[in-house]
Structure 1
Amino acid sequence: MSADAASPGPLSGIRVIDATHMLAGPYCTWLLGALGADVIKVERRGAGDFTRIIAPFRDQKSIYFMSVNRNKRSLTLDLKSPRGKAIFARLLKGADVFVENNRAGVMDRLGFGYGAAAELNPRLVYASISGFGQTGPYRNKPSFDAIAQALSGMMSITGEETGAPARVGASIGDIASSLFATIGVLSALQQRTRTGRGTFIDVAMLDCQLALMENAVARYLNAGEVPRRLGSRHPLIAPFQAFQTADEPIAVCVDTNEQWERLCGALARLDLLSDARFPDGSARAANHAELEPILAEIFRSRGRAAWLDALDEADVPASAINSVPEALADPQVVSRGMVTEIPAGSGHRFVGVPIQMPATPLPEEKAPPELGEHTDAILRDLGFSQPEIEALRAEAVI
């Protein structure tokens, strides 16, 4: 491994070959890189990751691409050419982890499915992220975040009660599969320390959405309750939702009877404590149609700031409903250092890694690579001479 690739961190010394694109795969390898792994992003010669051309741009660079491709080195390679395949095989032989997020069968057709890769390197941890997984009737279908949210039922429980189904505002179909894949990779690396062998990890966006919906799925399977859209309201607890104040809305979450007592005190409505309709969270949820109008009228009597002060004083969980700019300027977010500039002084700012390890600080994040920026250095690591590298470039292999 070159000095350029070396970095401190929990995954220092782990080399990841990244054949991912768009979001579901790159988010996973961004995290692995942030934890200290040497991530080599293998991109299409001439074009690279599809997101490199997605607007908006900052300094002629795609913000989408930059956000999830930090902490990586870029190698351009024609995986359809014999010499390109030979180089890729050499990469896999020296790697610890391989991550790809193509449709099922794509890597097999290229000659680098798990079976072939494991023959090259039995210690390789091989993670495949796809819309529907490597098995089942949908395995070859294309998928995107909204498809995963729609098919899983996630969209059916998202949105206002009387409104249309809605996509969750963030790309949780992509990101959830990245997170589960990351967990799988870390678990497989731990297993490898015991067995000496790698393994195959098959993560499907659809499966991950169902996992995120654990409570909704469990209620249906075990109680026959069909989950539906409830707006901001919780299906099992009340009050646990957004309320409009005299100016801006707030979120109020009351989970215990002690919190309910404190809320009634803050609202100057202690009479609600003896109301037979609202003795506990389950009853309040069952009778939300009667409780919600009472609370809504009270909250409309004062502004957001006044209510948040009163609820904070009463130790009732409540919050402003921030816009993205408000969230990023929030004192708690600022104190945790959740916005990072990469590289320093560039003006390119992104959300930081949400993992803090005081006793083992994570390495400083690195800027996303230019297309093919590290091709020569990576090939030199693999033993190629500069004349050989130039010949590969002339043959359009790299």
Structure 2
Amino acid sequence: MLNTNNHSGPLSRFTVIDASRVRAGPTAIRLFADMGARVIKVEIPAGAPGGDDMIGARDHDRADFENLHRNKESLTLNLKTEEGKAIFNDLIREADVFIENYRPDVKYKLGIDYEALKAINPRLVYASISGFGQDGPYSKRPGFDSIAQGMGGLMSITGEPGRGPMRVGIPLADLAAGHFCAQGILVALLEREVSGEGQWVHTNLLESQIAMLDFQAAKWLIDGHVSGQNGNEHPITVPTGVYATRDGYLNLAAIGQTMWIRLCNVLGVPELVEEPGLETDAMRVKNRDRVNEAIGELFRQRTTAEWIDALNEAGVPCGPIYTIDRMFEDEQVQHLDVTWDIVHPERGTLEVVNSPIRMSRFPRPEQARPAPEKGEHTDRILAELGLSPARINELKQRHVV
């Protein structure tokens, strides 16, 4: 039997078996690891076919790997062997959650599909993330974030008009699928408290990306309007976007009539409020170029910092546009303490971005555990399951673990 998790946190009573790879699955389970759950990452042993997949692999990008897999344990296990499968089943009997993001047919070939694991542990919450869904004409296709961004409509509305489709600068489909999956797992765990039964939770990159379109999808579904690219400007309100200042750029979001009036007063042109063609939100959207030309010249007269002070004092949303290094230097970002120290045995103290979730009765730990080395906890976990050192060594020799 697995030992009780000795970590604290609101999810410390749960044990998660993580067979996911790349980004979407690890993103989902990072929430559980950060919140104190015992997360056992199942990996392919050295000498067995396969291994870490591209993004987030230890040797490919160590920074990314530490970010994705902190606070986990690692067990190597060859699921293509009968002995490895038996050990895996013992883990499943003790687990609350299992997650995988293989192509949908792979889990059935390995015999680790939902129905098979449900027979072992009816209380198990089984989570799957795929590229395009568990069935349907594209279900066996390999999924990748940029492909989902394109098929999910995002690239058609990102970037400047006339410049062609543009991928966003983060793996949004992967991240969205991971976060939606984490929400689904938590809902299933809550429902289990009533029914006593687990269930299969699954999402996919394409569907998650479509969900993230939000109002852009609603504009088509309800109004029949196909949105295009608007660059830095907001598609349904003006003035918003990026404006050149005397020494750089300003990000502005003067949304609605109240903000427009405040902006005009700060700019020293209150007469623009009553100017024909600019009186309402709808008129300003229709005459977007006139608005931008009128205020654009004014913004060039002062520095970004001066405008930010004046606009914030007036209650007009605005801000600077940082590179990533400068973002971490911002006084509010530093006040929020967004980074988390990891003490790595070889690289010393590292920093990763902390969870943005804050809870009054569960303060965030000051330090995270580093991502595990491959198989780092194999001996301990197998010993918890009752295997002797001699048996463990024998299994290692045959690349079962």
TM-score range, shorter chain: over 0.9
What stretches of structure 2 of length at least 5 have no aligned partner?
A: none
Q: Separation in 2 of the partners of 1:49 and 1:197?
A: 32
Q: CA deviation at 1:55?
A: 3.9
Q: Separation in 2 of the partners of 1:238 and 1:54?
A: 47
1:342-381 Cα offsets, whole Å, 9 max, x none, are: 1289231111111111222244521110110000111111
Q: CA deviation at 1:293?
A: 1.4
Which residue in 2 is equivalent to 1:2?
3
Maintained 8 Å contact 1:126/1:199 = yes
Structure-1-length-normalised TM-score: 0.95
Q: Separation in 2 of the partners of 1:325 and 1:90?
A: 46
Alignment of 1:264 onto 2:264: yes
SS in 2 for 1:158: coil
Q: Identity rate of aligned residues, in percent?
A: 39
Q: CA deviation at 1:297?
A: 1.6
Alignment of 1:80 onto 2:83: no
1:178-217 Cα offsets, whole Å, 9 max, x none, are: 0000000000000000000000011011000010001111
Q: Separation in 2 of the partners of 1:168 and 1:104?
A: 27
SS in 1 for 2:89: helix
Which residue in 2 is equivalent to 1:59?
none
Alignment of 1:357 onto 2:359: yes
Matched ranges for 1:78-157 at <5 A = 78-157=78-157
Q: CA deviation at 1:137?
A: 0.7
Q: CA deviation at 1:52?
A: 2.3
Q: Separation in 2 of the partners of 1:286 and 1:346?
A: 56
Q: Separation in 1 of the partners of 2:201 and 2:250?
A: 42
1:258-308 Cα offsets, whole Å, 9 max, x none, are: 211111011001011101312232322222122111122211222211211
Maintained 8 Å contact 2:133/2:204 = yes
Could you tell me which amino acid in structure 1 is paired with residue 216 of structure 2? A
Q: Separation in 1 of the partners of 2:339 and 2:392?
A: 39
Maintained 8 Å contact 2:145/2:172 = yes
Which residue in 2 is equivalent to 1:189?
189
Maintained 8 Å contact 2:98/2:124 = yes
Matched ranges for 1:1-398 at <5 A = 1-2=2-3, 5-46=5-46, 48-50=51-53, 51-56=56-61, 62-343=62-343, 346-363=348-365, 364-398=367-401
Q: CA deviation at 1:53?
A: 4.6
Maintained 8 Å contact 1:6/1:13 = no
Q: CA deviation at 1:48?
A: 4.3
SS in 2 for 1:272: helix
Q: Separation in 1 of the partners of 2:222 and 2:231?
A: 23
SS in 1 for 2:85: helix
Could you tell me which amino acid in structure 1 is paired with residue 375 of structure 2? G
Q: Separation in 2 of the partners of 1:394 and 1:38?
A: 28
Could you tell me which amino acid in structure 1 is paired with residue 363 of structure 2? P
User: In structure 2, do the counterparts of structure 1 residues 396 and 54 end up closer, same or farther at CA, with 3 Å as the change threshold?
Assistant: closer
SS in 1 for 2:137: coil
Could you tell me which amino acid in structure 1 is paired with residue 31 of structure 2? L
Could you tell me which amino acid in structure 1 is paired with residue 3 of structure 2? S
> For structure 1, which segment, 248-257 or 202-211, has the greater mean C-alpha deviation from structure 2 after superposition?
248-257
Q: Separation in 2 of the partners of 1:101 and 1:329?
A: 36
Maintained 8 Å contact 2:237/2:256 = no
Maintained 8 Å contact 1:123/1:198 = yes
What stretches of structure 1 of length at least 5 have no aligned partner?
A: 57-61
Could you tell me which amino acid in structure 2 is paired with residue 2 of structure 1? N
1:5-45 Cα offsets, whole Å, 9 max, x none, are: 42111111100000011111111111111011100000111
> For structure 1, which segment, 341-350 or 154-163, has the greater mean C-alpha deviation from structure 2 after superposition?
341-350
Q: Separation in 2 of the partners of 1:256 and 1:6?
A: 52
1:239-276 Cα offsets, whole Å, 9 max, x none, are: 12111112211110012322111110110010111013
Q: CA deviation at 1:54?
A: 5.0
Q: Separation in 2 of the partners of 1:365 and 1:17?
A: 19
Could you tell me which amino acid in structure 1 is paired with residue 380 of structure 2? A
Q: Separation in 1 of the partners of 2:38 and 2:205?
A: 25
Maintained 8 Å contact 1:328/1:339 = no
User: In structure 2, do the counterparts of structure 1 residues 291 and 13 end up closer, same or farther at CA, with 3 Å as the change threshold?
Assistant: same
SS in 2 for 1:159: coil
Q: Separation in 2 of the partners of 1:377 and 1:362?
A: 27
Could you tell me which amino acid in structure 1 is paired with residue 362 of structure 2? T
Q: Separation in 2 of the partners of 1:49 and 1:122?
A: 30
Q: CA deviation at 1:123?
A: 0.3
Q: Separation in 1 of the partners of 2:199 and 2:290?
A: 54
SS in 2 for 1:52: coil
Q: Separation in 1 of the partners of 2:118 and 2:279?
A: 60
Could you tell me which amino acid in structure 1 is paired with residue 369 of structure 2? K
